[in-house]
Chain A
Amino acid sequence: MAELSSAGLLGDSLGLTPDECTAIALSLRVATVATLASLGPGLAVAWLLARRRFPGRGLLDGLVHLPLILPPVVTGYLLLLAFGRRGPIGAALAEIGIVLSFRWTGAALACAVMGFPLMVRAMRLSLEAVDRRIEQAAATLGASPGRVFLTVTLPLALPGVLAGAVLAFAKAMGEFGATITFVSNIPGETQTLPSAIYSLTQVPGGEAGALRLTLVSIALSMTALLASELLARRLARRLGVE
């Protein structure tokens, strides 16, 4: 894995062990994949909840928020039951060659599920805040509903959509309970940053490593937050909202 060796070089200069670098790189990869994969569904669900009335809307809203309220271990266990090799969905996926249990892809799924409610909330608020009157004006100019969404709604909702993505990314970086329950804690495969810190705290002499990784974790989170803040502000200015 190319990114792990370059991370290794960086890690050496920061005083991190190879295992620690692996954990960081894995977390970054898992969080990125989880966020990107849930952008589409997240936007779709956010749009449905923001704009459409349909039977079962409350139920969908509740389901989306479930990972926020359930104990993360419960969510992880449910994922295991469904996507494990012997679970209904897991078995079907295994037939076409996709295995999630005990793989980093499973970790990505766990992170995506846990971050989903945060992403949908932020996106939904942002979509609801788009001035419908502007969308109406666009329709009178001949824009189909699809064109209105792509050229008016989405651009105007972008700050919130981005905020939702960053929130999901941050949550994915910090996901622990569901991940460790679903895909366990395999170094190099499913040992993400939080799992690595946990393992180090359980071992005598691991405090230094735990502290190092904690600092890295804080640094990464702060960077993500700052970046999203700057981007959101620049977008808002371009939209003429500020």
Chain B
Amino acid sequence: MSLTLDLALARGAFRLDVAFTAPPGLTALFGPSGSGKTTVIALVAGLVRPDRGRIVLDGETLLDTRSRIDCPTHRRRIGVVFQEARLLPHLSVRQNLDYGRRASFRHRAETPGLGFDDVIGLLGIGHLLARRPAGLSGGEAQRVAIGRALLARPRLLLMDEPLAALDAARKAEILPLIEHLRDGAGIPILYVSHAVPEVARLADTLVVLESGRVAAAGPAATLLGRGELGPEQAAQAGSLLDMTVTGHDAESGLTHLSGAVGRLSVPRLDRGVGALVRLLVPARDVLVATRAPVGLSARNVLSGTVRDLGLLREGAVLVTLACGEGAIAARLTQASARDLGLKPGLPVFAVVKSVAFDPQGIGAGRAPRAVEI
């Protein structure tokens, strides 16, 4: 189930010209404000018409300006979760949830989906059914909005910065739900965000937008590792590591993880032994040592070899280190890289402080697979 699009639009000074294919899974549309992410969502949903373009979902052409095909929004069966929940204010939560179900009965057979009880269970909104939207908090409203979109049995789910209007606590509450959706709902998701931690945690594929154009597109792990996130976000380059919890150490308050890159310790995680987690290790939190460090406070020392060095802006260097069967990236100044004499093939040690791991950045992992950085 994939989405292919090729769209061009000009509105005043803003020009959009994007083309990419989103494979199954969660594809993140990433970029700074004004880069055109929301416009792409509006175009895919059919709320805006492009000047020229094509949209093909799962083999069905939804839009082709050249052959004058234009499927109207209400027939595209594409669910949208907006930044502001956009609940129907004159209906109760239950009626909001039911609103999309009526239309879904027509195509129920073709689109697998979650039933009413599954959805309210997954989102934890059972106790809100009789309430009115005006009486809901931001997090509750957003959860209802997600439920409502799912119950309409869409073939594709578009999420336009759904967490932007929420505080950290609400974000922490909803991020795992989106992970569940990604892993369990069986429909592809196109997720817009300008926040690296969100994208790192959720994305399988990443499409980076810059001023209305696609600056980079590819597997999330690859792009994040290479720091290809656009000029403003390059500083947030990092390595996506899929690891397994091997044990907890109550005394030191740490959880031990094991993965392709080796063993890591992070501040106590609320996951059971054997659980899969995904970490984003920011490249700027990784140190490189040419000799085994002694008397250092950092607990995570991985041994490996330099694979390559990539020049970043402002005189920084992204060093990719092959550790074990995986890879980890470190961000150094050019001067440091030169002083250490880093070159491909050099055996080195990667050092990460265990408290460098942001609990928000630690998500549910996927089964370990070979990750190319």
Contact = CB atoms under 8 A, between A and B. Distances in A.
Given A133-B86, A134-B89, A141 B132 contact: no
B149 A156 contact: no
B89 A156 contact: yes
A140 B88 CA distance: 13
Interface stretch (A86-94, A186-194, A234-242): A234-242
Nearest to B86: A137
A78 interface: no
Nearest to A242: B134
What bracket does the count of chain B residues touching chain A fall in? Answer: 20 to 34
A140 B133 contact: no
A142 interface: yes
B149 to A, nearest CB: 7
B357 interface: no
A155 B148 CA distance: 20
B132 A240 contact: yes
Contacts of A133: 82, 84, 86
Interface string B69-93: 0001111011110101011111000
B152 A142 contact: yes
Contacts of B132: 240
B2 interface: no
A144 interface: yes
Contacts of B88: 134, 137-138, 152
A206 to B, nearest CB: 51
- Between A136, A139, A140, A241, the greatest number of chain B beta carbons within 10 A of the residue's beta carbon is seen for A140
Contacts of A240: 89-90, 132-134
Contacts of B102: 142
A145 interface: yes
B350 interface: no
Contact of B100 (A141, A145, A239): A141
Interface string A137-174: 11111111101100110011000000000000000000
Interface of A is mostly: helix
A237 B74 CA distance: 29
Contacts of A145: 72, 74
Interface of B is mostly: mixed
B80 A137 contact: yes
A139 B80 CA distance: 10
Nearest to B148: A141
B90 A140 contact: no
Nearest to A239: B90
B40 interface: no
Contacts of A241: 89
B125 to A, nearest CB: 16
A144 B47 CA distance: 13
A8 B73 CA distance: 58
A136 B74 CA distance: 9
B107 to A, nearest CB: 9
Contacts of A136: 45, 47, 73, 86
Interface in B111-151: 132-134, 148-149
A45 B282 CA distance: 59
A12 B19 CA distance: 81
A141 B149 CA distance: 7
A16 to B, nearest CB: 43
A137 B82 contact: yes
B103 interface: yes
A143 to B, nearest CB: 6
Nearest to B151: A141
Contacts of A134: 86, 88-89
Contacts of A156: 89-90
5 contacts: A140-B47, A140-B152, A141-B100, A142-B75, A156-B90
Given A133-B86, A139-B74, A240-B90, 4 more contacts: A133-B84, A139-B46, A143-B99, A152-B88
5 A-B pairs with the lowest CB-CB distances in the bound complex, closest first: A142-B103, A240-B134, A141-B100, A137-B86, A240-B89
